[in-house]
Amino acid sequence: MLLCRCRAPIASLDCMEEFSAGSGLSALAERDSTITKERLLLSGLTHSAPAAPMQLSRQTSITPGLRYKNLGKSGLRVSNIGLATWSTFSSGVTEEQAEQIIVLAVDSGINVFDLSEAYSGPRAEIELGRILTRRAWKRSSYIVTTKIYWSTRSDERGLSRKHIIESVKSSLTRLQLSYIDVVIVHKSDPMCPMEEIVRAMHYCISQGWAMYWGTARWSPVEVMEAYTNCRQFNCVTPIVEQTEYHMFCREKTELYMPELYNKIGVGLMAWSPVSIGMPQGKEDATAQLFARASFRNKYSSFSWTEDETVNKESYSWMKDRIQPEESRRQTERIRELNALAERLGCTLSQLIIAWCLKNESVQCLLLGATTVDQLYESIQSLQLVPKLNTNMMTEIERILENKPTRPPMISTLALR
């Protein structure tokens, strides 16, 4: 009699992670009651490698709600929350406190560490490099993203090939790493040819200094132009765009980033003033921060002459755009969101983080903290995501009244 073997369908990676988490917890309970053969086997196998028991204990403490997704359409798997070290390595945080925050992130399952020279200078790369060296974590277990930042007021102007290569090599020295996982170009340079930028990034990847590259604060048109040049000159294409996303900054993320992902495979790494820890847990500071953030121009482009011209007119746009009526309406929205957060038993910051994670286009949301307690509170927002059902999201939309919509298509034939 012939027996037919039918292979079971392969489960998704998210389900496999949940299954491994549950099996790890059940195995932990069995080991507490009796010594099994499996434990004896593990102890015998890990006797020569003292680091293995630490890795086993980390894998059993799975953070509820933590998921791993592909960044863009690449094979790089990132946690759905990452650690933005912009505030972690600020002047008010000691190196010991920063290390405690990094350790909590790793123990919670976070594998993305984002750096930015624009906000914390070279200190962040130097201190993170020291921590990673002391801890001696396996290099394949974490992902480091750093930015190529250029300022029009410094000698390092623009995104020339010289500046890009020098920045990558300097970051490698400060981080004490053999390679950087993702190098992100912070802000596009209209004065530099796009061909030179993409060829320089391709060269860095070809040399083994970086594995991938991406962009930050680029418009959808600029990202598409970079992709087109990469295809034309046979260069490695960008895999991620890092952009601001929160309840009062939605147009780019919700309207254009899904299209870029479907067409050219560019993923989304998001951040917000609240998620990176700027208000430091204070609700009144959160309200003030959003009140200012909602009036910023998200698509302003800078040339050298515009950025270097400093006069009173440079800041007049803020006064012109902030109207008393709009400011009052903004305050009312924050007050209603705060009341909704109290009903859900969370803080306003946790509600905002969970709302951002509800968007499937966000593959990694960057969190920041200046204390261990602040990061722990932000991580707990993962458990709030399932509570944001359809009715709750509808109520939030009613409060915000700012759901972005595309402008209607206008046919040129109708104008004739």
| Bridge partners (DSSP) listed for residue 270 | 243, 365
In 3D space, the residue among 74, 78, 79, 101 whose CA is nearest the CA of residue 90 turns out to be 101
**Longest CA–CA separation in the chain, Å:** 90
CB-based contacts of 369, cutoff 8 Å, min separation 6: 83, 87, 88, 101, 277, 375, 378
> Which residues are catalytically annotated?
119
Return the number of other C-beta atoms located less than 10 Å from residue 18's C-beta: 15
Residue 17 corresponds to which amino acid?
Answer: E
| Bridge partners (DSSP) listed for residue 99 | none
| Helix (H) / strand (E) containing 143 | strand 143-149
DSSP-derived secondary structure letter, 160:
-
CB-based contacts of 271, cutoff 8 Å, min separation 6: 84, 242, 243, 244, 245, 365, 366, 368
CB-based contacts of 151, cutoff 8 Å, min separation 6: 118, 157
d(CA 158, CA 189): 6
Q: What is the separation, in whole angstroms, between the first and last Cα of the chain?
A: 78
